[in-house]
Amino acid sequence: MSSKGNAGNGDVGVSRKVGAVMVVGGGIGAMQASLDLANAGFKVYLVERTPSIGGRMAQLDKTFPTNDCSMCTISPKLVECGKHLNIDLITYSEVQSIEGTAGNFTAKVLCKAKSVDYSKCTGCGLCQEKCPTKVDSEFEAGIGKRKAIYVPYPQAVPNKPVIDREHCMKFTKNKCGVCQKKCPTGAINYEDQDKIIELKVGAIILAPGYDPVDPKLRPEYGFGRYKNVVTSLQYERLLSASGPTQGHIQRPSDQKAPHKIAWIQCVGSRDAQCGNEYCSSVCCMYATKEAIMTAEHEKGVACSIFFNDIRAFGKGFERYYIGAEKDSGVKYIRGIVSTVREMQRTKNLLARYVSDDGEIKEEEFQLVILSVGLRPSKGSKELAELAGIKLDSHGYALTSTFRPNETTRAGVFALGAFLAPMDIPETVMTASSAAAAAAELVSEERGSLVAQKEYPSERDIMGQKPRVGVFVCRCGTNIARVVDVQKVVEYAKTLPHVEFATESLFTCSTDSQKTISKAIEEHNLNRVIVAACTPATHEPLFQDTLKEAGLNKFLFEMANIRNQCSWVHEDPVMATEKSKDLVRMAVARALKLEPIKQLQSPVTAKALVIGGGLSGMTAALSLARQGFESYLVERSPKLGGYLNRLQYTLEGDNTQEWLKKLVGEVEKEKRIKVFTDAEVTEFSGHVGNFHAAVKTANKTEKVDAGAVIVATGAQEYQPTEYLYGKSPNVLTQLELEEKIAKEPEALRNANTVVMIQCVGSRDDEHMYCSRVCCGQAVKNALRLKELNPAAKIFVLHRDIRTYASKELAYKKAREKGVLFLRYNPEHKPEVAQTNGKLSVRAQDVSIGAIIDIKPDIVVLSAGIKPHETNPTLGSLLKVPLDRDGFYLEAHLKLRPLDFSSEGIFLCGLAHSPKYIEESVAQARGAASRAASLLSKDFLTVGGVISVVNPEKCVACLTCVRVCPYGVPAFKDEEGAVYIEPASCQGCGICAGACPNKAIEVQHYKDRQVVAKCKVLCEVSKT
Amino acid sequence: MIVGERKPLSEIQEMLKGYKKVMVLGCRTCVAVCMAGGDKEVELLGSLLRIAATKDGSRLEVVEDAVERQCDREYIEPIREKVAACDAVLSMACGCGVQFMAELYADKPVLPAINTNFIGVTESTGVWTERCGQCGNCVLHLTGGICPIARCSKSLLNGPCGGSQNGKCEISPDVDCGWQLIYNRMKQLGQLEKLAEVIPAKDWTTSRDGGPRKIVREDVKI
């Protein structure tokens, strides 16, 4: 492993830190943190309480605001965690104690008896199928069943079962034992014992996630009494194609499709009575998503959402919300349902609510969904106790604004919904951030504990005749019970160039790998075919076996006779025939396969950070602590960016003090080279190897970097409305904030203040919510109240979007007498000035009246708009912007900090409007993503990528236009397009689009695919 | 670039009736760029013809090939043997390529697979628009770089007709009024006053009205 990036504090006598990290929890946050750390050269122990990783995200049907399938997006990450050489999955286990100090912890972990020997189990699933005991499935949120021996869900990692001893008859009544009898590999072990293991780690990351609030806390909604009242998580399972109803929306009472559905928001959120005063942040959007998906599932279903405020504050949420109403016909009803009653005969539900105009109404629905809030997961309190960290009053990990991942115990970090209720991208960002924090702590031990695999040198097969080996898998009885495996083997032997064919019980088992290796050697095979299951999960395993046997891994092909034969066909004769067809096709393609040489491209272990605000500085500092140098390029003469204008936070931090401290740290840090008054004027290269020119007042310097972080921030909207600039008493929130901090005396006489929300947000020109303005208004209103408790403060708003714990400040402001009046966008407030006196005329929807206010000052909550440099810098770096003009990440959910172009990352306001703690977390997260890359000496490039034949290229530029990653570039000197191997993602879109067939995707060349198709139509000769 | 579009399959099949062995010949210049007749289209059309022949039980052997340019003798000469082995050549080049092939291979039927549409530009992938009317006497310097011959449906030279409404041409709401474009551009250039000058009636003999055109350059001729 590389010695690069080691901080190298060579203190003799100080006990060495441990280059390993324990991650507690197995959800998407824990997975992301583990992957970041393992890819950056640290050993990771992932300790998960349940039998598999995946967490809540695996349970969801789709995700907002893109409607991507949740399972499809998480599944590759599950597989990556499962097969990562440096991640030890310790599932079905709980932490018992944590001793030691930062850099050197010892954790005791209780590994519960799984009753299954994972070294023998192949995950064939027979035990699960034959087990007679059915139990409510946790994964199906209680609306589906599982067995007593079970894998929680089909795509689970590890895909091996555990026995639930509380329900298994062998343990409860000493009966049954079917699983042991049926197991083809003798993996079932009823005598298995709990055991305690000790882990030595340098840092600990806690990611216990969340649980949904118990809907019975609101008995008036009848959950548990009325069958057709379900929770939102149960509804996710009803929508899911892999759920208990196969994705058909059926209501529980009669399995009929409901035509009128209601969502009730804030069940267990914003509710002092049930103990959760905070906002759960995600329910407005998931309800919106569920309603959109419902409308998509079945035309004509009427969906109504009862809500307090719609909190569509995240990136792309406002458009999503507008689309739900306009395009999907979702009805949003402001007002919370007071009671739900069941109608005896129809089992329909009567919801009673007070409408916006103050009338009490009743409406009948066929299904009611409770949008249950989030709370810290069961057991997180105990976890906090044994980890020795403090929690806040609601049970979330106590952290601070500028150190959003750091708990009260040094070396113990937290992420995701253990910090506050948050959605998936926020979780992923805080996960990368926690990974960076952990890596900073143990950076000098990078690479000390990770495993590296050595392979023999590759055999040259040039000029050799193809010699094919075919390995047909029985998969226990999974394949063999339908397909006549022996016949398939005999058939394979008759195919051209097949020198060897055999069958095995489980081709993926360790001894089968040895068999394959041996056969390659003995029969001098130069092509290998496995007829078994899907390459999506198993191809890397077999390719690795080829590498171990000295064969290029691209000389391998799979035939999926499980998913495509035994699982879907019942007739053994036909299924066997089809298996033969698939094997014949695989052989035909294998004959055309070529070894592909992958290259090692060196990595420049430095980063270019563009933007010297809070995010840029945080990212550069984190990289420095992880041992990496960076160039920090700031456009203005002074570091600090937007933070220069913020004085204090809602939580009471003095931002200017923090800023001073941060700038001091940056200036002191030897690993950071700061350029001020500077901009990036030239940019070229590819991942691991970028070249840029940084222009300052008097010179232009060339810099090389392996990674780039875009942290260019955003700008305050300059209002043109509400007399801004025309009256000295009309200010923006930032201007007010500066006044409060610097000349508070001037404000003591402000007796009446009007704040207007959504100025430059949520309108036709800015179709997004600026996210921070509600909190900012609450923050400044509270400060004004401190200065002058008698001040009358009116906040004119459309929805108050104080999510998570900011809701508590909103409540406090109301208690202090701040008046929040709601206006409709059709009737915006009017500000007038006569003889220097301001007057505001505004509508208050809730009382249905127009009110006139004579304020001393009017404060505009001006939104955050994309930075003016985005279009130029974006095109220089070849990274895209979203529809609102902010930078667009690779994937809104799971790659929020990466651009689709490899090696370029983003954070802070450049991504979208956000609070300080969110920018800090993103910046540190981006540093983590960059560090994973910078810690490598070389990147392996090539393989399945597109290659241009310059002779055939007609320079039509089609590929340049269609590539989603901006990789193909026209080279003047060659008169043809060139595709950089290090940057190509191998998607093949260019190859498909090329009008002159000048581009081919390696390993999927036309002739390789056509060969397969050609033999499909030949009839098998047996 | 010359922009073309493949003819409907039924029309091509009709043309090929009676031939047993046909060569589908692509051209790797203009029609490759406009995705009508490059190697990919040759393969696609070849496959389509084979599938269609198999379907209706007729026998048709299809040979696929492509050359750099069908409008240069040096490129089409080397395929002589292959051409000789076929009953007919189905050229995927523009009208020039088809004719030049027919000229060189006078004993072989050369059939057009492409309709040659116009001289134009790629606006974006999959969208091509006409820009030049090949009038032989360019006036773009007078009209802000926007051609009144090609962009005005009536090829008017001195401003729009009464059919120009809200910037669109009366022939279709999808067609911009060429003269509106010219006006906008001249305004942007600050040269509106130039539009007051009358462009005299055009001598169309340099265009198609003068019969087939020919250029002989004595200085480069060999």
Average pLDDT over residues B134-142: 95
Residue of A956, A961, A993 with shortest CB distance to B32:
A956
B32: nearest CB among A954, A962, A993: A954
How confident is the model at residue A14, as a pLDDT?
A: 57
> Quick one: closest CA in A to B124, which residue?
A961
**Which of B39, B41, B54, B75 is the mutation pick for testing A, counting most A CBs within 10 A?**
B39
Tens-place pLDDT, residues A939-986: 998 899 999 999 999 999 999 999 988 899 999 898 999 999 988 989
Question: What are the residues whose beta carbons fall under 8 Å from the beta carbon of B127, sequence distance 6 or more?
Answer: none
Tokens of A168: 């298994």
Predicted confidence (pLDDT) per residue in A452-504, tens digit = 888 999 999 999 999 999 999 998 778 998 999 999 999 999 999 999 999 98
Name which of B24, B28, B64 to mutate to probe chain A: the one with the most chain A Cβ atoms within 10 A of its Cβ: B28
* d(C-alpha A943, C-alpha A705), whole Å: 24
In chain B, which residues have their Cβ closer than 8 Å to the Cβ of A958? 35, 125
A952:B28 CB<8 A: yes
Measured distance CA(A252)–CA(A238) in Å, rounded: 10
On whether any CB of chain A is under 8 Å from the CB of B125, the answer is yes
Q: Could you give the CA distance from residue A657 to residue A981 in angstroms, rounded to a whole number?
A: 47
Q: Summarize pLDDT for A510-522 with one digit per residue, the tens.
A: 778 889 999 999 9
pLDDT digits (tens, 9 = 90+) for B74-93: 999 999 999 999 999 999 99
Residues A609 and A709 occupy one common structural domain: yes
Element at A44 (helix H, strand E): strand A43-47
pLDDT tens-digit map of A142-192: 999 999 999 999 889 998 999 999 999 999 999 999 999 999 999 999 999
Q: Does A960 touch chain B (CB under 8 A)?
A: no
Chain A residue with minimum CA distance to B66? A996
Asked if residue A1016 is part of any domain, the answer here is no
pLDDT of residue A8 exceeding 50 = no
Instruction: Enumerate the residues of chain B whose CB falls inside 8 A of the CB of residue A955.
Output: 33
How distant, in Å, are the alpha carbons of A292, A402, A503, A772, A926 from that of A917? 31, 6, 57, 12, 14
Q: Which residues of chain A are within 8 Å of residue B35 when distances are taken between CB atoms?
A: 956, 958, 995
A958–chain B nearest CA distance, Å: 6
- CATH number of the domain where residue A988 is located: 3.30.70.20
Q: Give a yes or no: residue A164 inside a domain.
A: yes
Structure tokens at B145: 């770089």
A149, A105: one domain:
no
CA-nearest of A36, A37, A5 to A19 is A37
Q: Which residues of chain A lie closer than 8 angstroms to B66, CB-CB?
A: 996
Mean pLDDT value across residues A672-681: 97
pLDDT number for residue A11: 46
Does A700 share its domain with A725? no
How many angstroms away from the CA of B51 is the closest CA of chain A? 13
Place of tokens 């035509």: A259
Confidence category of residue A534, pLDDT binned at 50, 70, 90: confident
Using pLDDT thresholds of 50, 70 and 90, give the confidence band for residue A1002. Answer: very high
Q: Which residues of A touch B40 (CB under 8 A)?
A: 994-997
Q: Is residue A5 part of a domain?
A: no
Counted across chains A and B, CB pairs separated by less than 8 A come out at 39
Q: Could you report the per-residue pLDDT of A678-729, keeping only the tens digit for each?
A: 999 999 999 999 999 999 988 999 999 999 999 999 999 999 999 999 999 9
Dihedral (C-alpha) A923, A925, A928, A929: value to the nearest 10 degrees?
A: -100
Distances (CA, A) of A152 to A516, A536, A679: 32, 20, 52
Verify whether the Cβ–Cβ distance B29 to A954 is below 8 Å: yes
Which of A953, A956, A1014 to mutate: most B Cβ within 10 Å? A956
| Same domain for A594 and A484 | yes
Smallest CA–CA distance from B29 into chain A, residue = A954
Counted residue by residue, chain B has a size of 222
Q: What is the pLDDT of residue A68?
A: 87
Beta strands in A158-310 (DSSP E): 162-163, 195-201, 203-206, 210-212, 229-231, 260-267, 302-307
Is A65 a domain residue?
yes
> pLDDT digits over A797-820, tens only?
999 999 999 999 999 999 999 999
Give domain status of residue A812, yes or no.
yes
Contacts of A994 in chain B (CB under 8 A): 40
Amino acid of residue A361:
K
C-beta separation of A212 from A374 below 8 A: yes
103-122 of B, contacting A, C-beta below 8 A: 122
What residue in A sits closest to B38 (Cα-Cα)?
Answer: A996
CA closest to A990 among chain B residues: B125
What the block records as the tokens of A751 is 């007796």
Q: Which residues of B touch A962 (CB under 8 A)?
A: 125
Search chain A and give the residue with CA nearest B127: A958
Using CB atoms, pick whichever of B39, B122, B125 lies closest to residue A997: B39
The answer to whether position A487 is within a domain reads yes
Where a domain ends, among A921, A939, A957?
Answer: A939
Residues of B in contact with A948 (CB under 8 A): none
Does A961 contact chain B (CB < 8 Å)? yes
Q: Quickly count helices (H) and strands (E) in chain A.
A: 24, 52
Full residue range of the structural domain in which residue A138 is found: 114-192
Q: Does B65 touch chain A (CB under 8 A)?
A: no
Considering the domain architecture, whether residues A808 and A795 belong to the same structural domain is answered as: yes
Give CA–CA dist A80/A83, Å, rounded.
5
CA A189/CA A185 separation, integer angstroms: 11
The residue-averaged pLDDT of A37-55 equals 97
Cβ of residue A1010 closer than 8 Å to a chain B Cβ = no
> Residue A847's pLDDT is what?
83
pLDDT (tens digit per residue) in A377-398 = 999 999 999 999 999 999 999 9
- Yes or no: say if A133 and A167 are a contact pair by the CB < 8 Å rule: yes
Give residue A12's pLDDT: 44
Q: Count up the domains in chain A and report the number.
A: 7
Segment A531-539 shows an average pLDDT of 86
Peptide bond into A540 cis (omega under 30): no
Cα–Cα distance, A85 to B207 (Å, whole number): 73
Residue A554: per-residue pLDDT: 97
Q: Decide which of A163, A192, A221 is a domain's last residue.
A: A192
Q: CB–CB of A432/A926 below 8 Å?
A: yes
Instruction: Indicate the SS3 state at residue B162.
Output: coil
Same domain (yes/no): A472, A566? yes
The residue of A996, A1007, A1013, A1017 whose CB has the most chain B CBs within 10 angstroms, and thus the best one to mutate to test that interface, is: A996
Fold classification of B2-118 is Rossmann fold (3.40.50)
Q: Do A954 and B35 touch (CB under 8 A)?
A: no
Is residue A1014, in this structure, part of any structural domain at all?
Answer: no
Which two structure tokens, joined as six digits, stand for A914? Answer: 């956000």
Kindly identify which residue of chain B lies nearest to residue A996, measuring between CA atoms.
B39
Residue A15 above 90 pLDDT?
no
Quote the pLDDT of residue A83. 84
Residue closest to A986 by CA, chosen among A940, A943, A945, A939:
A945
- Specify whether A650 is located in the same domain as A677: yes
pLDDT band at A6 (very low <50, low <70, confident <90, very high): very low
| Distance from the B73 Cα atom to the nearest Cα atom in chain A, whole angstroms | 19
> What is the edge-to-edge ordering of all strands in the sheet holding B61-67?
B61-67, B21-27, B88-91, B110-112
Q: Are residues A219 and A340 in the same domain?
A: yes
* Residue at A146 is within a domain: yes
Q: Give A996 to chain B, closest Cα distance, Å.
A: 4
pLDDT of A374: 97
- C-alpha span between B199 and B181 (Å, rounded): 17
- Asked whether the beta carbons of A959 and A968 are under 8 A apart, the reply is yes
Contact at CB, A995 and B39, closer than 8 angstroms: yes
Pairing relation of β-strands A857-862 and A714-716? unpaired
Q: Which of residues A15 and B122 earns the better pLDDT score? A: B122
pLDDT tens, B163-218? Answer: 999 999 999 999 999 999 999 999 999 999 999 999 999 999 999 899 999 999 99
To the nearest whole percent, how much of chain A has pLDDT over 90? 87
The backbone torsions φ and ψ at residue B197, rounded to the nearest 5 degrees and listed phi first, read: -75, 130
A996 in contact with B, Cβ within 8 Å: yes
**Average pLDDT of the residues of chain A:** 94
Domain chopping of chain B, boundaries: 2-118, 133-200
> What is the reported pLDDT for B183?
97
Q: Are residues A70 and A218 in the same domain?
A: no
- Measured between CA atoms, how close is B22 to chain A, in angstroms? 21
Q: Output the pLDDT for position A79.
A: 84
Q: Are residues A935 and A857 in the same domain?
A: no
Amino acid at A844: D
Pair type for strands A498-504 and A527-532? unpaired
- Secondary structure tally for chain B: helices H, strands E: 8, 9
Each residue of A253-263: pLDDT tens digit?
Answer: 999 999 999 99
Using an 8 Å Cβ cutoff, are A720 and A865 in contact?
no
Q: Is A31 on the interface with B (CB under 8 A)?
A: no
Q: How far is B127 from chain A (nearest CA, A)?
A: 11
Query: Do A531 and A581 sit in the same domain of this protein?
Result: yes
Pair A261, A356 in one domain: yes
Task: With CA atoms as reference, report the closest residue to A473 among A590, A583, A549.
Answer: A583
Of A833, A791, A837, A828, nearest in space to A813 by CA: A791
The verdict on B32 touching A (C-beta cutoff 8 Å) is yes
Tens of pLDDT along A729-749?
A: 999 999 999 999 999 998 988
Final residue belonging to a domain, choices A347, A375, A403: A375
All residues of chain A having their beta carbon less than 8 Å from the beta carbon of residue B43 are 997
pLDDT in the model for residue A512: 86
Average pLDDT over residues A87-95: 97
Cα–Cα dist A971/A960, whole Å: 11
User: Do B40 and A996 lie within an 8 Å CB cutoff?
Assistant: yes
Q: Is B28 on the interface with A (CB under 8 A)?
A: yes
| Separation CA A905–CA A216 (nearest Å) | 44
Q: How far is B148 from chain A (nearest CA, A)?
A: 27
- Whether residues A957 and B41 touch (CB distance < 8 A) is answered with no
3-state SS assignment for residue A41: coil
B6 touches chain A (CB under 8 A): no
The 10s digit of each residue's pLDDT in A408-442 is: 999 999 999 999 999 999 999 999 999 999 999 99
Which among A949, A962, A997, A999 is the top mutation candidate for probing chain B, defined by the most B β-carbons within 10 Å of its own β-carbon? Answer: A997
Distance CA A250, CA A228 (A): 10
The CATH code of the domain that includes A483 is 3.40.50
**CA distance linking residue A993 with residue B61, whole number of Å:** 27
